[in-house]
Amino acid sequence: MKGVWVIIKSIFKFIQGLGTTALGLLVILFLVGLYAASNRDTRPVVPNGAVLVLWPNGSIVEQAEYPDPLDELFTDFNSVPPQTSVHDILRSLDRAKGDGRIKAVAVLTDNMFGAAPSHLHAIAGALRDFKASGKKVYAISSAYSQGTYMIAAEADKVYMNPLGSVLLTGFGSYPTYFKDMLDKIEANVNVFRVGTYKSAVEPFIRNDMSPAAKEANLAFLNSLWEQYETSVVTARGLEPGALTAAMNTVNEDLRAVGGDFAQLAVSNGLVDELAARQDWRQALMDEYGSTPDGTSFNQIHFEAYLAATDKPNMNPNQIAVITAQGEIVMGEGPITVTAAETVVGYIRDARNNPNTAAIVLRVDSPGGSSFASELIRQELVAAQQDGLKVIASFGPVAASGGYWISATADEIWAAPSTITGSIGIFGIVPTFERTLDKIGIHTDGVGTSPLAGAFDITRPMTDTAKDIIQQSIENGYDQFLNLVATGRNMTVEDVDKIAQGRVWVGSKALELGLVDHLGDFGDAVKAAAAAAGVDSYSVVFYRDQPDRFDQMLASFLNSSMGGGLKGSLAPHMSSMMKTALELKSSAELFLSQFNDPNARYAVCFVCKVKE
């Protein structure tokens, strides 16, 4: 009992040290609230006859970062774009199709910032599968971008605001070029590369896209557009080529409806009904009933639905999913990049787990450091040597280093719209001796050999240094070719013919032998289970875990504020803000993520497709 009083006295001394009794009481209430929030069941309840609201917030990605609860609370002051995991969307649709409590899906895309083609195809396919169960899908948005419309096209009924639009533009790839800027600051950019189509270095040495790059890029962009158009016209029952024809006559067609984009969408068969919010909301209330307060239709948000229906899977056979998302870099890092040490740690944890039956490497990466790529691949080989099958599953992009890490997997699965290949390598060593000279800064000194200071960016590169790096780049390219030849059971010469840095879509990559099968993530998981010889299994994603205190704080704020933090929606992002974020991303890649110890990179800069 004496020990308890000592603890109580210590707490009150701490409170006194905070300044005032009132502040101390607030601290106690806050801590009690956190404790209570962490120890109660806050699982939502699924209403009977509900509409599943599929309302993605932000960018669609493989794995979303765990949000800071305070960032979510103060969204008006938070400039970090939100994210939604594509796997959460797909799991909710797959689960809801057989759930008798869910009668329909309402897709709202106003707060989607963007999604890669393969993610859009995956969601569209999941909606088709949901409809096959006999349940309806409604698309409800103020307006539709090209990307969001591909999802909306699968709906039984597409609603749009009378002031909205559906403007289709096709696909494009428009990298940013820096040559003139580098010339103005008199920087010397020493570029080393192998591969006719390895255009990743072009932004540093040109102000435009080379003819070879245009040829290769237009080929894969045309394939992506063909897949997009086929999906939409099939879903909407339109004539083949209808979207391309409409884009070619959009000026005349728009003039015919008095410049009204909404009426143009209706006349083109893209939208079924123009309706204000209160109208489509009332239509769903009439069909599916109302919420308890009578303000909207009977519904549950897809993230709440997942929280309500998630159950612990105690199956001892685990398919370990290792995600490689974003640029491949050395060291440790968050889920937004493929940091070698972090990913290697996940692979090692999976292969040392006695319950792991097989590994699925899920890739959405344009590549990066070749050294970091090889570290990841070596750890996957170690897992294979331990007897584990490794199945690579390609998402939106698995190019350059993204292909390197997958090259020796037991099987490679890709989506038809996956952007892959770009098998090539390059090096960049900028020097700034002329830039510094211009502002009166100079370097001079002595060394014990011709190589002393040869790679100092304040001095010009010698011919010897340039030759060393070029030989290293050529050796790296040979290593890449040999890895692919070994993994794909091809000759080096045959690999070289389809390499050279050229980009392919998944459907063409299958023809070329760069992938084994076309299919989605679920297909790859089933293949992994089959390869491991297990019929019953659980799927375990290896990734960073949310901070326990953050979870408690989020739960406390949810309850004390009287609503879910997810209720706050991301604002629309202007074209200017999107461009600024893209430039920021490019600058971060060039300045902080080019950290290969050998200055050798396998990365694809044209793999980001713009709609």
pLDDT tens per residue across span 278-309? 999 999 999 999 998 899 999 999 999 999 99
**298 falls within a domain:** yes
pLDDT of residue 586: 53
Residues 425 and 550 in one domain: yes
Residues 117 and 250 in one domain: no
Residues 489 and 426 in one domain: yes
The CA distance from 374 to 64, in Å, is 25
Residues 51 and 111 in one domain: yes
Over range 498-503, report the average pLDDT.
Answer: 91
Residues 98 and 154 in one domain: yes
pLDDT of residue 44: 87
Note whether 403 and 328 are within 8 A (CB).
no
pLDDT of residue 77: 47
Residue-number span of the structural domain to which 259 is assigned = 238-270
- Is the pLDDT score of 74 beyond 60? no
pLDDT of residue 559: 42
Residues 426 and 469 in one domain: yes
For the stretch 465-472, contacts whose Cβ atoms lie closer than 8 Å and that sit 24 or more positions apart, written own/partner, are 466/190, 466/192, 469/190, 469/192, 469/427, 469/429, 469/599, 470/192, 470/427, 472/192, 472/427, 472/598, 472/599, 472/600
Residue, of 25 and 381, whose pLDDT is higher? 381
Q: Which pair of tokens denotes residue 522?
A: 């679920």
Q: Which pair of tokens denotes residue 135?
A: 């349940």
Over range 469-474, report the average pLDDT.
Answer: 89
Residues 381 and 505 in one domain: yes
Question: 30: which DSSP letter?
Answer: H
Residues 291 and 359 in one domain: no
- Hey, how many other C-beta atoms are within 10 angstroms of the C-beta on 396? 31
pLDDT tens digits, residue range 556-595? 444 443 333 333 444 455 454 555 555 555 555 544 455 6
**171 falls within a domain:** no
Residues 161 and 282 in one domain: yes
The count of structural domains within the chain is 4
Q: Which pair of tokens denotes residue 177?
A: 């070029």
Considering the chain, what is the average pLDDT of its residues? 85
The enclosing domain of 161 has a CATH number of 3.90.226.10
**552 falls within a domain:** yes
Residues 71 and 103 in one domain: yes
Q: Tell me the CA distances in angstroms from 291 to 92, 103, 135, 278, 563, one per residue in order.
A: 21, 15, 20, 15, 15
Over range 404-423, report the average pLDDT.
Answer: 97
* Length reported for the chain: 611
pLDDT tens digits, residue range 318-370? 999 999 999 999 999 999 899 999 999 999 999 999 999 999 999 999 999 99
Residues 389 and 484 in one domain: yes
pLDDT of residue 433: 86
Catalytic residue list: 198, 400
Over range 192-217, report the average pLDDT.
Answer: 82
Q: Tell me the CA distances in angstroms from 610 to 225, 588, 595, one per residue in order.
A: 11, 20, 27
Residues 394 and 302 in one domain: no
CA angle (58 as vertex; 391, 522 as ends), nearest 5: 20
Decide: pTM greater than 0.95: no
